[in-house]
Amino acid sequence: MTDTLLKMCDITKSFPGVLALDAVDLEVERGEIHGLVGENGAGKSTIIKVLAGVYKADGGSVDIDGETLADVTPRSVHDAGVRFIHQELHLVQHFTVTESVFMGQEEQTLLGLSARAMRAKAEAFFETALGTQLSGKTLIRDLGIAERKLVQIARALIDAKAKLVVFDEPTAPLTSGETDKLFAAIRKLKEQGIAMIYVSHYLAEITDICDRVTVLRNGQNAGRFDDVFDNSAPAMISAMVGREIDELFPTTEHSAAAPRLEIQSLCADAFNDVSLTVHRHEIVGIAGLVGSGREDLIDTIYGLKAPSSGTLKIDGIAQRFRAPSEAVAAGIALVPRDRRHDGLVLDMSVSDNVNLAALDSVSRWTLENRRASHAVATEMSETLDIRPRNIAATARLLSGGNQQKVVLGRWLNKGADIFILDEPTVGVDVGAKVEIYQHIENLAKDGVSVLVSSSDPGELIGLCDRILVMLRGKIVAEVSTTDLGVDTLVALTTGGAVQEVAV
């Protein structure tokens, strides 16, 4: 029985300089869960936004329930029964569950809001449609993230007119237990005949929950799987990256010297039982999807967040950082992922930013020696080729690559034994990228220990000696980068190959 609910045909969309979608087809049948997978930039979110009416397609047609939509706008799509569950929650912390579900679609009588009726309706919806118990009086801030997701779903579906629900990375912030909860709700919706498009990076989830899967690559259809089995993941990955999966080479080589940075069974909210070591001269990578716990791990090592248990040793001495200042004093430097927010004081000059961590060294009697600080900044901007070569320029006005060099220059100036780089080349142009890689290599050559966290598999393979792979808060694999292929790393980070890998 084929009963097509949504048919998107030959969808083409280009942005200045980029063909984001090139004649992409997407078909969803009534009552099925349809997976949509692809690497970053493959066009997943673009086609979702075309369907949502956020982007206007340059060409192609959208049919819902056999009728062609003349004009795809947020309004017309909503009227046709399509609902979107966005990645972000957009819920008000201090609202109750009922208030959140009915926000913007409140029911009222002449006597004002019918609070009791709405609450009963919300609670009944959670019970029958999502198969869970949730009190309408609970405040959003007291809910777990999975429950908030359910509130978000209820808000989209409470009018009972939905035919197709689009989930965009619904499980990214969830732990595996919470994911099961969400999946139960999704399966319950499927029983009610509601079709779903499920966008996710987690291939293990895709094979678990989806009936059919469409794979995109570089804005084109790269394959469709009409029968999804638990072991379809490798085939999907090769469709995603366009190559076959390589063999895996577990690492065996370890330097004999004692490690500089040693972490033993570190635990926090977002990750569990993480152990790792970084030696002198070594560049170690951490791979993982957004939400894998990678970011929290970096923050915890640097003292931005507190671990719940576990130890962190530097040169064999146990440390406990209550603030980054203590981590810096112990010889750690962080190039943060959000350089505009955490890396630079944007309204200060290049010189001030370069000197910010090591002001003591350019001061006399606690007064800033401007000649010395300017000399340091000038030297750094020469060494790193920071453009414009004007140390008085406000950091805000620099390009992404040059801003990143300023952050790097600060720590080169300060001198640290352990460099942690979080997404070091996001928003950095290609030329600056190569230079930054070169400086990282030089640091390792000089005996510095480097830890790189990145969502770019190619970057990690090119830069690192070995890579630790994080998935849902755990380190699931450690691989040497010798002969490591991008597709293998992608398979590991997406959970598409966990079964085959001995951890």
**Residues in contact with other proteins by the rule CB under 8 A:** 302, 304, 323-325, 327-329, 334, 336, 341-348, 352, 356-357, 359-360, 363, 366-368, 394, 410, 414
| Cβ 271 to other proteins shortest distance, Å | 20
Nearer to other proteins by C-beta: 344 or 475? 344
| Cβ 331 to other proteins shortest distance, Å | 11
Counting every residue written for the chain, the total comes to 503
Strands 449-454 and 418-422 come out as parallel
| Cβ 451 to other proteins shortest distance, Å | 15
- The tokens describing 143, both together, are 């809910």
Tokens 């034994």 found at: 417
Contacts 24+ apart (CB under 8 A), 47-54: 47/8, 47/11, 47/13, 47/21, 47/216, 48/84, 48/166, 48/168, 48/197, 48/199, 50/8, 50/11, 50/13, 50/21, 51/6, 51/8, 51/77, 51/82, 51/166, 52/77, 52/82, 52/84, 52/166, 53/77
Nearer to other proteins by C-beta: 36 or 408? 408
Burial string for 31-54 (b: 16+ CB within 10 Å, else e) reads bbbbbbbbbeebbbbbbbbbbbbe
Nearer to other proteins by C-beta: 414 or 472? 414
Nearer to other proteins by C-beta: 245 or 421? 421
| Cβ 269 to other proteins shortest distance, Å | 19
Nearer to other proteins by C-beta: 10 or 368? 368
Nearer to other proteins by C-beta: 83 or 410? 410
| Cβ 367 to other proteins shortest distance, Å | 5
Nearer to other proteins by C-beta: 260 or 410? 410
- The tokens describing 188, both together, are 């319950």
Smallest Cα–Cα separation from 6: which of 41, 31, 42?
A: 31
CA distance 117 to 9: 42
Nearer to other proteins by C-beta: 20 or 418? 418
Tokens 């010189």 found at: 351
| Cβ 293 to other proteins shortest distance, Å | 19
| Cβ 418 to other proteins shortest distance, Å | 13
Smallest Cα–Cα separation from 100: which of 152, 135, 169?
A: 152
| Cβ 213 to other proteins shortest distance, Å | 40
Is the Cβ–Cβ distance between 150 and 132 less than 8 Å? Answer: yes
The CB density around residue 170, as the number of other CB atoms within 10 Å, is 25
